[in-house]
Amino acid sequence: MSMRRERIPVPLIKRRLPSGRGAMLQPNVTGDDDARLSGRFWGVVLATGVAAGLLGDLMMLILFLVEHAAFGVNERGETFQQAVTHASGWHRVTPLLIGGVFGGVAWYLLRRYTRGRTSEVDEVLWTGEGRLSVRRSFGSAVISEIVIGLGASLGRESAPKLLGAVSGNVLSGWTRLTPAQCRLLVACGAGAGLAAVYNVPLGGALFAAEVLIGSVNLPVVLPALACAATATLTSWLYLPSHAVYLNVPHYPYETRLLVWAAVVGPIVGLLAAGYIRVIGWISHHRINGWPAIFTPLAAFSVLALIALAYPQLYGNGKGMAHHAFLGLGSLALLAALSVLKPFVTALCLGSGASGGLFTPVLSTGAVLGGSLGLLWGLVWPGSPVGAYALIGAAATMGAAMQAPLAALVLVLDLTHSGLALVVPMIVATVFATTTTRWVDGYSIYSARLSGAVNAVD
C-alpha cells in the first residue's frame, strides 16, 4: 500500500532524489491542506501586516496621548512609572477614577449596542463560531487603551492584537479566501499586532503559531513570520525600533542559576495554575448588565488606594518589570508586587474591563523571580537579581500561556538580552509549564473563554 502524500504546492522540480523519499517525510514540511498558500493569500498576508502595524501605531498614539494628558508623561522625559510616582496623591488618583467612570459607561454602551457580536480572537479561532465584529472590536480596543493610559492594571497588547486579527478577517472576506485561509490569516494578524507594538517580530510570529494555531510547521510559520515582520517594519513609522526594555545587562551563566531554575520552576507552575484559575473564575462571573456601569469605578478606586503606596501597580506593569530586569528593588517590595499585581489585574478584569494579560503576567513573573532570587541569595549568594527576574519572567509566561517556546523567544526579543541564561531559562520554563499542565492545563487565554463549546477534556 502506498503511503505517498501529495505536496501542495507541487514543487517545480518533479524528479525525486535518488533515495526516492519524499520531502514531506520531514514532519514540519507538510502540505498546505485547506489553507493553501496561494499568491493571493500571500498578498493578503502582507496587506494584513501593514494594517496591523498602522493600527498598532494608532492604538499606541491614543495610549501615549492619554498618558501625557493624565500624568504628563514625556513632559520631562519621564517614563510612565516615573510620572505616576512623582505625581501627588490626588493627581495620581484622579485619572484612575475618571477611567472607572468612562470605562464603565463606554463598555456598557458598546456591549449593549453590539450585543451578539464577537470581539474575542481566541474564541473565533478555537471554536470557529463566526467572524469578528469590526465595530465592537474597534470600540473595545479604543476604550481599553484609554483606560490603560489612565492607569488601569491591564495589558496594552489586547487592542493591537484584536485589530490585527480584524484586519486579517476583513481582508480575507474582501478577497474571498477560504474559511481555512481566513482562520490562518486572523491568527497571523493577531500575532502581527502583538509584534508591532512590542517590536517582537519573532515572538509575535511564534505566538500566532504556537498559541493561536497550535502548530509550528512551515505552512503556519512562514505566513506568521511574514505578517509579523511586515507589521513591525510598518510600526517603525511611529514606534521606536529598539528593545522595549532598554539597557538590560547581559548577565553571565552561573551554576547557581541553573540549580535555582530547577527548584523554582515547579513553584512558579503551581502559582501560575492558581492565577489562571482565578482569571477563569473572574471571567465567568464578571459583572454584566447595568451594574457594570459602576463596577469599574469601584475596582479602580481600590487600585488607586493600594497604588498610593505602590505606584508601580499603575498600567500594564512595564516599569515594574524593567526595574526587576535591571536588578532594582528590595525583597519586601518585589514580594509585595508579586502578590499585588495579579490581585489588582484580576480586580480590573472582574469589574468588566477589557484588556490584555501579557505584560501583567510578564511583570508578575519578573518580580516573583527577583524576590525568590533574593531569598536564594541568602543561601547561595553571588548572582544578580536581574538574572533571576529574566528567568522568572520566562517561566511564568510559559506556564501562563502554555506556550514555552513563545515565552522564551518573547523575553529574549523584549530585552535583547539573556542569551547566556537560555539554559536555566529553558529549565525553569519547562518545569513551570509542565507543572501547570499537569495540575490543570488551562492558559490565561483558554480560561477566559465564555460558555462551553465542549465541557469534556
pLDDT 10s digits, 268-277: 999 999 999 9
SS3 155: strand
- Average model confidence (pLDDT) for the chain? 91
Phi (first) and psi of residue 241, to 5 degrees? -100, 5
The Cα–Cα gap between 52 and 168 comes to 9
**pLDDT beyond 90 at 27:** no
Of 124 and 451, the structure prediction assigns the larger pLDDT to 124
pLDDT tens, 307-325? 999 999 999 999 999 999 9
pLDDT, position 453 = 42
pLDDT bracket for residue 8 (50, 70, 90): low
**pLDDT beyond 60 at 171:** yes
Alpha carbon 83 to chain centroid distance? Answer: 24
**pLDDT beyond 50 at 2:** no
Cβ neighbours of residue 40 closer than 8 Å, sequence gap 6 or more: 175, 177
Burial class (CB in 10 A: 0-12, 13-18, 19+), 82: middle
In terms of pTM, does the model score above 0.75?
A: yes
Largest distance between two CA atoms of the chain: 78
Of 52 and 90, the structure prediction assigns the larger pLDDT to 52
| CA-CA-CA-CA torsion sign (336, 341, 342, 345) | positive
Residue 371 has a CB neighbour count (10 Å cut-off) of 26
Residue closest to 134 by CA, chosen among 162, 112, 115: 162
pLDDT, position 452 = 47
Locate 76 and state its grid cell: 520631562
**pLDDT beyond 70 at 429:** yes
Locate 270 and state its grid cell: 503551581
pLDDT bracket for residue 13 (50, 70, 90): confident
Cβ pair 202, 436 in contact under 8 A: no
Do the domains 39-236 and 255-448 sit in the same CATH topology, yes or no?
yes
Cβ pair 156, 316 in contact under 8 A: yes
SS3 443: coil
358-379 vs 318-325: helix crossing angle, rounded to 10: 30
Between the two ends of the chain, the Cα-to-Cα distance in Å is 35
| CA-CA-CA-CA torsion sign (155, 156, 160, 163) | positive
Mean per-residue pLDDT for 382-391?
Answer: 96
The Cα–Cα gap between 44 and 54 comes to 15
**pLDDT beyond 70 at 457:** no
Q: Which residue has 492558581 as its cell numbers?
A: 274
In the chain, where are the structural domains located?
39-236, 255-448
Residue closest to 412 by CA, chosen among 95, 198, 92: 198
**pLDDT beyond 80 at 455:** no
* Region 39-236: CATH code: 1.10.3080.10
Mean per-residue pLDDT for 432-440?
Answer: 95
Phi (first) and psi of residue 118, to 5 degrees? -105, 135
Phi (first) and psi of residue 95, to 5 degrees? -55, -40
Which uninterrupted H or E stretch holds 354?
none
pLDDT tens, 120-143? 888 889 887 558 999 999 999 999
pLDDT bracket for residue 456 (50, 70, 90): very low
> What is the fold of 255-448?
Clc chloride channel (1.10.3080)
